[in-house]
Structure 1
């Protein structure tokens, strides 16, 4: 029977640890997820690559090799992860993965996998770019990369790190959680508010849904600390999803959060 964990446990060449890569914080987190040996974490990595428009071939090649080794005979429980991986390879806009995606489309893979591979293939520009060569990453000889320092963060520290580092998939999940459970602390709330303040007027399309959830999450503060920020976003944000989901009336007399109070760069540095 196919064993998923041994395959994923080594998604970095023994001669190239993740620390050797010039990765951003988010890319490093996704790399660590890919080499974790956990199917759920691989799916999160693919979703994060989509959400954050990651286009680092050193990360994407790892994902590509996973797809190449699994798409044809994947059991049902792997299909959703492979579909997300195919989507991620396409939404990067990197033509490096054209041949791989084309081989999936023309294969006997499950129709769900072929569907997402076809969508991704259509989204890639037609160029003569150097293609990823299947097998370039030796899955039999590679070892799991060491975890990054921030992998041990928990609670409010982890939440603030994810927000400050701009990890969209994590931020969205946090905001969704806060809409039902409330914001766990003012520190977390202020960090989330600062991210929102920096993006609700200039955010890109891939951020829209996350920003809308943030506004709903911030609105749960019982003291109305984010009232002024939310009302300004509801009135002045050019993003329709933000205006739609930010309530126009919030109770609370302040003191209100002032944009710029939290230094996101410094928060990320301190928690790394």
Structure 2
């Protein structure tokens, strides 16, 4: 799964405000991608990473913007912009965009852009699976947003990579409302997928950190319980460190 998270490095230090504070619709995505505000487009692309949306009405506009950007992708900022757009196209999980992505991989473009296009090609297959999980409305809570429900689906899934990504995004976006915290708490109380391997430990450590970073004292006992009773010593140490500086 290294390509997926390497491809997400483009998001480092981009945003300071919570991305999911804004509720996007198909129409607002279209409006953003038809416009010229690159910062808003990068915000929208980040929101797509855990939205569970595959609607071509969104991604056709994004694809058109990407294709229009390519002739200018010869200097640093323009290359970075095109890289963001190709990363966003992968969040569709739709094979119809493989040709466009592969045209960059095999084309005469800057090596950085070709690298991100190659990663996007691999991520496309991952999001075909993930969007099915994120967009499954069978467990959606009627009083919650699409975004909160997608987070909840990720945390309740059987995919450790997806669970970890959700935990990290909860911290990045400071999504600490009661609905999200309750889902985190329930999963940490009964860690269904816990195992003595790096991915499982890192996933549950990030989930514990997300819960602790909320600063909500109602959940302190959950972190205390992990720190004292978890079957994994590494996870115990992580939880203990979160308690020392309970956010």
Q: Shift of residue 249 of structure 1?
A: 7.2
Over 3 Å counting, the alpha-carbon distance change for 1:120 and 1:195 in structure 2 is same
- Matched with 1:99 is 99
**Residues 1:192 and 1:93: Cα distance change in structure 2 (over 3 Å):** closer
Matched, 1:226 2:219: yes
Higher helix share: 2
After TM superposition, the structure 1 stretch with the greater mean CA deviation from structure 2, 231-240 or 108-117, is 231-240
The CA deviation at 1:230 is: 2.9
1:191-222 Cα offsets, whole Å, 9 max, x none, are 5423423655579x9xx59745522412x45x
Given the superposition, is the C-alpha separation of residues 120 and 174 from structure 1 closer, same or farther in structure 2, using an over 3 Å criterion? closer
Pairing of 1:5-16 with structure 2 (within 5 A) = none
Q: Say whether residues 1:194 and 2:193 are aligned partners.
A: no
Q: Secondary structure at the match of 2:72?
A: coil
Q: Is the 8 A contact 2:185 2:219 kept in 1?
A: no
CA contact (8 A) 1:162 1:170 kept: no
Matches within 5 A, 1:62-77: 62-74=61-73, 75-77=75-77
Distance 1:247 1:42, change over 3 A: farther
Match of 2:213 in 1: 217
Residues 211-251 of structure 1: CA distance to partner in whole angstroms, max 9, x if unpaired? Answer: 45522412x45xx3321233456678999998775447748
Range 73-82 or range 59-68, more displaced: 73-82
Question: C-alpha offsets along residues 37-61 of structure 1, whole Å, 9 cap, x if unaligned?
Answer: 4211211222222334432222111
What is the TM-score of this pair, normalised by structure 2? 0.52
- Separation of aligned partners in 1, 2:114 and 2:221: 48
* Runs of 5+ unmatched residues, structure 2: 1-22, 126-143, 152-165, 194-198
* Cα RMSD (Å): 4.3
Q: 2:96, 2:232 → 1: CA distance?
A: 32
CA gap of 1:91–1:97, structure 2 versus 1, over 3 A, is same
Task: Give the distance between the partners of 1:49 and 1:242, measured in 2 at CA.
Answer: 30
In structure 1, the residue matched to 2:159 is: none
The structure with more radius of gyration? 1
Shift of the 230–67 alpha-carbon distance from structure 1 to 2, 3 Å rule, reads same
CA contact (8 A) 1:98 1:121 kept: yes
**231 and 79 in structure 1: CA distance in 2 versus 1, 3 angstrom threshold:** farther
Match status 1:173 vs 2:184: no
Deviations 1:31-83 (A, max 9, x none): 55434542112112222223344322221112111111102323522332321
1:42 alignment counterpart: 41
1:68 and 1:87 map into 2 onto residues whose CA distance is: 13
1:106 deviation in Å? 2.6
Aligned residue-pair number = 177
- Normalization by structure 1: what TM-score? 0.48
- Checking the alignment, whether the CA contact within 8 Å between 1:72 and 1:110 is kept in structure 2 is no
